[in-house]
Chains A and B, each alone.
Chain A
Amino acid sequence: MAEQTAKTAPSKKSLQTAREVWPYVKEEYAAAHRAKAEGKPIVWSCAVLPKELYWAMDVHPVFPEHYAVITGMMRRGGSKDENVEKEAVRFARVAESAGFSSYLCGYARSSIGYTMLGDFEDAPLGGLPKPDMIISTSFVCDLRGKWLRYLAQKLDVPFYVLDVPERGCDMALIQPGLRSALLPFYNKIRRGERDLFVSPVADHELDYTETQWRELIRFIEEVTGHKYDQDRFNEVMETSYRTNEIRLEILELRKARPAPMGVADGLSTMYPGLYTTGTQKAYDFYVRLRDELKARVAKNEGIIPNERFRLLWMGLAPWFNMSLFNYFEKYGGVFVFEPIYNMVPFPPRTPENPIRELTIRTMQQAGGIIAPNMVGQAVSTMVNAAHEYQCAGAVLFYLITCRPVVYPTTEIARVLQEDFGIPSVPLECDLIDERTYSEAQTFARFDAFAEQLLKAAA
């Protein structure tokens, strides 16, 4: 891996609401420390697992995965000196020296190194409060189960993994009971040679996943003594549902030309929805975001004054250098959409059996837009997104340390180009480990890509 020689910087956000995220995040970490001090049970968990149960059962979740993002953006002691390496690199070195390979996810290496060092407070934002239990899941990637299992082994706390069947399909979203037309563009593939593989969710998959959720409830009850209360859970699920409806409105507003909200804003504003969904605070946040967007669209106001080409982003975020999302603006290019961390339509509320409702959501998220898990799903997600958001090209994150994200990239590039004439360019690096990033290579590729798109537009 190349050692860092590049300048890295945060992105320039376009929306006021997006600039509210950092204070929101800091307050969440402060709240977690307060919860610990008050004796509330702390669970370390992961991004893709729905969080509603935690709020309903009065356990406070924190996320090594998100904390790793923080370590990828901050230097030791809050230093701004570019000669001081980011905390993620310091922690990753510790994990690597213990035998964890450098090809593993930067999130995992950072949080493993942080945990191995054992000095929990000597880290950004005062570190993470120590957990009383660790809960992970099998879906999206193999790594998150094993990575959090290692943390549980190291910290000697109870561990639970919520197993979800790993479903293959060529559709981004198949939800039991869905009554909508799907994939308007994927079905129109020009060559007419591609078969569409469909794998609807079967009863036994739902039953198994529901059992996994019910076991998780039992696990939390046994570890904490807190009892599951269906009424309380329904309240959280209701807030979560209403929040999602607002987020769907936001996704629609983002289709406008000129683009009112870019990927820099999109990736920043994922935090409340991904980590605090089900809370009133998250709901209020997205109402503010929607209202700001609505006003922008009404005024025909875009991210930049003269939008010349629109780009689609594929992958997670290079958190250590989010300024890349502003790179094409000098060419009149804007990143308009990122099919990651956003939500799909939820199933209808089912108050008489909210665990089953959550199960359906879990199955859908395991194969949906939040985690385009299998290759066919990822391809159709990108094809649909490129059309819905009118993108002339795509930048694909060849996230060399994340198997589920990097696997489909070649197929996405191939299908976009061969079937739709949409070109793409890769960005190759880790998400927080800046040692893997080459500025010269990235800028050379991006410059050539911008010229190609401008020529095509002309």
Chain B
Amino acid sequence: MASFFQEWVEYRHEKVRQWKEDTGGKAYGYLCCMTPEEILYAAGVLPAKVMGAGEAPQEIVDKHLVRYACPYVRSMLDAAGRGEYSYLDSVVVCNSCDIMSRVEYYWRTMKPHPKSTILGVELSPYVLYIKSPEKISGPGVHEYLRSEFRIFKQHLERDTKQVITDDMLESAISVYNEHYDLMRKLHDLRKEEPLKVSGSEAFVIELSSLLMRKDLHNQKLAAHLKNIETREPLSGNPVRLFLSGGGVDHFTGQIYTVIEEAGGQVVAEDIGVGSSWFGHGIDTDKPPMDAIVAHRLDVHCPHTMTSERHPRERFEYVKSKIKDANVKGAVFFVPMYCECRNLEYPFIKEGLRDELGIPTLYLDSDYSQGSLDEAVSKIEAFIEMLEE
């Protein structure tokens, strides 16, 4: 069963292409968890996470963007420039950080994709930019993001030639809530001792959920969770770790393996898209669009900020992720030039150390095999220290 999820991750391009061929449906790429996936799902579209390739050289992106930029995003753009994502019908970009908000320009420039125009105006741009707010609380923000999502929905309706009704949104919410429930169950299993689910297995399951329609993922995950219940615990006595990282893709997936081979297990994480918003489902008592907006405004990623006068929200969020997980140490595996993550690190590090007695290890990653190789000895030494 696990190989089902693994296969979707490994052969993601082929799988999405196949889905399009089988269903005649459209696939939209997206880069950030602020993307209202449920609206895409309601329109019958497959939302598929865009990922980097983690390969060098990046000759195409080098012609447009300096190397002093997030290697994860550079890699995604290079893959786009090479045509790896030519099967996508559209790409959704959010303002999830300084470089992400500029991906709209770079994707348009590096891989132009003409679409139908009326009097020179694109009816539905190929790259759809959502100006998501940086602040996720306070007056006006809900109304603002709802307006952004309405514009997004309008473009999507034009592209798919249909009206997306509240009923359609409610059905999508129901599928997504089932997904959030299942993922929560999976993450709760990782708090148990002894462990039955490895961090790398959970990560692959989560990653695959970003690539396929959620109803299919739900069906497979529900069955997989039953299998897990009957399985034997993992062998050994791994050191339980919290992982804070950058991009959600197979490259980040490899750091789980490095940790496991060094005698550790990631039992909780904070890695951008994915589990970041699995804390709760979407409110079914609200009008569906408002419910989706409220859900997205609960994304406590390193880029977002709150209206708190004395802000501690990111540390509190990390605390909530590791609650009951019996974490012994925290590893930060951060892409170079990720200012949002680097700027919050010292405050979180101090909090983990002073309030919870949890030591941290910070590793820069240039998104190359070299940075993974370099991480091995550092992680081994860190785990060794925690075992003492």
Point out residues on A near B: beta carbons under 8 Å.
98-101, 103-104, 108, 138, 141-143, 145-147, 149-150, 152-153, 156, 158-161, 163, 165-168, 170, 195, 197, 202-205, 207-208, 211-212, 215, 219, 374-376, 398, 400, 403-404, 406-407, 409-411, 414
User: Nearest-CB distance from B139 to chain A (Å)?
Assistant: 5
Which residues from chain A contact B97 at a C-beta distance below 8 Å? Answer: 142
Q: Given A104-B342, A163-B133, A202-B147, are A195 and B108 neighbors across the interface (CB < 8 Å)?
A: yes
**Do A168 and B105 have beta carbons less than 8 Å apart?**
yes
Given contacts A138-B134, A159-B309, A168-B104, contact A146 B344 (CB under 8 A): yes
The interface of chain B, by Cβ under 8 A from chain A, is 62-66, 68-69, 95, 97-99, 101-102, 104-106, 108-109, 112, 129, 131, 133-135, 138-141, 143-144, 147-148, 151, 303, 305, 307-312, 336-337, 339-340, 342-347, 349, 362, 364
Q: How far is the CA of A163 from the CA of B307 in the complex (A)?
A: 10
Residues of B within 8 A of A146 (CB): 305, 339-340, 343-344
| Residues A208 and B346 in contact in the complex (CB < 8 Å), given A142-B340, A158-B310, A163-B134 | no
Nearest Cβ on chain B to A64's Cβ, whole angstroms: 14
Are B336 and A103 closer than 8 Å at their CB atoms? yes
A163 touches B64 (CB 8 A): no
How close is A328's CB to chain B, nearest CB, in angstroms?
A: 24
Q: Indicate if the CB atoms of A166 and B95 lie closer than 8 Å.
A: yes
Q: Are B310 and A407 touching (Cβ within 8 A)?
A: no
Shortest C-beta distance, A307 to chain B (Å), equals 31
Query: For residue A426, which residue of chain B has the nearest CB?
Result: B66
Q: Is the CB of A376 within 8 A of B105?
A: yes
23 interchain pairs, CB-CB under 8 A: A103-B336, A138-B305, A142-B97, A142-B339, A146-B340, A147-B343, A156-B310, A158-B309, A160-B307, A163-B305, A165-B144, A168-B101, A204-B147, A204-B148, A207-B144, A215-B307, A403-B68, A403-B98, A407-B65, A407-B102, A411-B64, A411-B65, A411-B105
Asked if B305 contacts A149 (CB within 8 A), the reply is yes
Chain B residues with CB under 8 Å of A99's CB are 342, 345-346, 349, 362
Are A403 and B346 in contact (CB-based, < 8 A)?
A: no
Distance (whole angstroms) from the CB of A404 to the closest CB of chain B: 6
- Give the complex CA separation of A349 and B362 in angstroms: 51
Whether the Cβ atoms of A163 and B364 lie closer than 8 Å is: no
**Does A403 lie within 8 Å of B99, measured CB to CB?**
yes
- Inter-chain CA distance A219–B139, complex, in Å, is 13
B104 A101 Cβ-Cβ under 8 A: no
| Candidates A98, A101, A142; contact of B303 at CB < 8 Å | A142
Q: Report chain B residues within 8 Å CB of A203.
A: 147
Interface pair A145/B133, CB less than 8 Å apart: no
B336–A161 contact, CB under 8 A?
no
The interface residues of chain A lying within 8 Å CB-to-CB of B66 are: 398, 406-407, 409-410
Smallest Cβ distance from B372 to chain A, in angstroms? 19
> In the complex, what residues of B have CB within 8 A of residue A103's CB?
68, 336-337, 339, 342
Decide: A153 near B131, CB < 8 A? Known: A376-B105, A400-B68: no
Q: Contacts A150-B346, A159-B310, A409-B66 known; A208 to B133 CB distance under 8 Å? A: yes
Q: Are B140 and A101 in contact (CB under 8 A)?
A: no
Residues of B within 8 A of A145 (CB): 134, 305
Residues of chain B within 8 A (CB-CB) of A211 are 139-140
Q: Which residue of A lies closest to B121 (CB)?
A: A198
Residues on the B chain within 8 Å of A410, using CB: 62-66
B342 partner, pick from A100, A170, A212, A398, beta carbons under 8 A: A100
Are B139 and A215 in contact, with the CB atoms below 8 A? yes
Q: Which residues of B contact A398 (CB under 8 A)?
A: 66, 68
Q: Which B residues lie within 8 Å of A215 (CB)? A: 138-140, 307
Q: What is the CB-to-nearest-CB distance from B23 to chain A, in angstroms, rounded to a whole number?
A: 31
Identify 12 new A-B residue pairs, CB closer than 8 A, beyond the known A145-B134, A159-B308: A99-B342, A103-B339, A143-B339, A152-B310, A152-B311, A159-B311, A163-B133, A166-B95, A215-B307, A404-B98, A406-B66, A410-B65
A208 to B312, CA, bound (A): 24
Question: With the chains together, A83 CA to B133 CA distance in Å?
Answer: 46
Q: Closest CB of chain B to A340's CB: distance in Å?
A: 17
Q: How far is the CB of B208 from chain A (nearest CB, A)?
A: 30
Residue of chain A at shortest CB distance from B114: A195
A161 with B344, Cβ < 8 A, contacts A103-B337, A168-B105 known: no
Whether B305 and A375, one on each chain, are in contact in the complex, defined by CB atoms closer than 8 angstroms, is no
Contact between chains at B135 and A153 (CB < 8 Å): no
| A140 and chain B: residue at smallest CB distance | B98
- Residue of A150, A160, A205, A403 ringed by the most chain B CB atoms within 10 A: A403
In Å, the complex CA distance between A143 and B144 comes to 23
